[in-house]
Amino acid sequence: RWPQVRVKMQQIMLLRFKTIQQRSNSLVLYELHEVADAKAEVNE
């Protein structure tokens, strides 16, 4: 019974970690996009 609970907890932690990673990745992409837009405006 206990090993099952631990496995379940690990799965939940893994899922959380993945979603956090995805979220931070998209945030980084968004920020890069913003920076690129700002540079484009400066160059015009």
Q: How high is the pLDDT of residue 11?
A: 95
Q: 7-19 burial, b for 16+ CB within 10 Å, e for fewer?
A: eeeeeeeeeeeee
pTM of the model: 0.53
Reported for 15-22, long-range contacts at CB under 8 A and 24+ positions apart, including other chains, are none
- Which pLDDT tens digit goes with each residue over 2-20? 789 999 999 999 999 999 9
